[in-house]
């Protein structure tokens, strides 16, 4: 039996290469976004739930400005959650770029993410840096309950079942 080697057309190979390159580029943007957001909280750090909600608001604002969100969001027990973001955070911890600070406060165990990296915003698109700065500035000192209440009442989240994928819609009356 004569088996011949099949050669893929160049355009098909190039298309595959471009897809892989785009996936790597998006992954790098996701990592940089997470690191930049954590770095905005200094040595005090940011809790996992607050980080996740701020990343959601950042992605939401990106969508409203006509850019593709960087993460896929699902409705979960405590609102929007990105499993991709959680995986990347875990990778950044293992790689030593993110540290987990733990302490006990009023009998409850607390955790916060910090980074000792001096993060260069130049590794992110200017629009993304601007959005992160705006969202963090607005929510940095507000209680978590207020942030959660705000998010739970957003059209993209309100009355959605756990497991539903979040679809961002354009709304001129929104405020991040």
**Interval 67-95: pLDDT, tens:** 999 999 999 988 999 999 999 999 999 99
- Tell whether 73 is covered by a domain: yes
Long-range contacts of 159-168 (CB under 8 A, 24+ apart): 160/75, 161/75, 162/74, 162/75, 162/76, 162/77, 163/74, 163/75, 163/76, 164/74, 164/75, 165/72, 165/73, 165/74, 166/56, 166/73, 166/74, 166/75, 166/80, 168/59, 168/60, 168/63, 168/64, 168/69
- Tell whether 174 is covered by a domain: no
- Tell whether 164 is covered by a domain: no
pTM: 0.84
User: What is the pLDDT at residue 8?
Assistant: 61
- Tell whether 144 is covered by a domain: yes
**What is the block-wise mean pLDDT of the chain (176 residues), using blocks of 10 residues?**
63 63 86 95 94 97 93 93 97 95 88 83 85 96 96 93 86 49
- Tell whether 114 is covered by a domain: no
- Tell whether 56 is covered by a domain: yes
User: What is the pLDDT at residue 22?
Assistant: 78
The residue range of the domain holding 86 is: 18-41+48-96+119-152
- Tell whether 106 is covered by a domain: no
- Tell whether 109 is covered by a domain: no
User: What is the pLDDT at residue 172?
Assistant: 47
Q: Based on the structure, what is the number of domains in the chain?
A: 1
């Amino acid at each position: 039996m004569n088996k011949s080697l099949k050669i893929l057309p160049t355009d098909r190979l190039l298309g595959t290469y471009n897809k892989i390159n785009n996936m790597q580029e998006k992954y790098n943007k996701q990592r940089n976004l997470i690191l930049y957001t954590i770095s905005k909280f200094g040595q005090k750090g940011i809790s996992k739930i607050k980080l996740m909600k701020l990343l959601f608001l950042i992605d939401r604002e990106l969508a409203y400005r006509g850019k593709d969100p960087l993460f896929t969001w699902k409705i979960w027990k405590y609102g929007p959650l990105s499993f991709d973001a959680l995986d990347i955070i875990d990778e950044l911890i293992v790689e030593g770029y993110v540290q987990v600070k733990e302490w006990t406060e009023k009998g409850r165990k607390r955790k916060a993410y910090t980074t000792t990296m001096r993060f260069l915003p130049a590794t992110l698109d200017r629009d993304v840096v601007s959005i992160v700065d705006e969202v963090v500035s607005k929510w940095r000192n507000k209680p978590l309950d207020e942030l959660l209440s705000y998010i739970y009442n957003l059209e993209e989240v309100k009355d959605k079942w756990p497991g539903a994928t979040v679809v961002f819609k354009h709304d001129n009356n929104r405020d991040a």
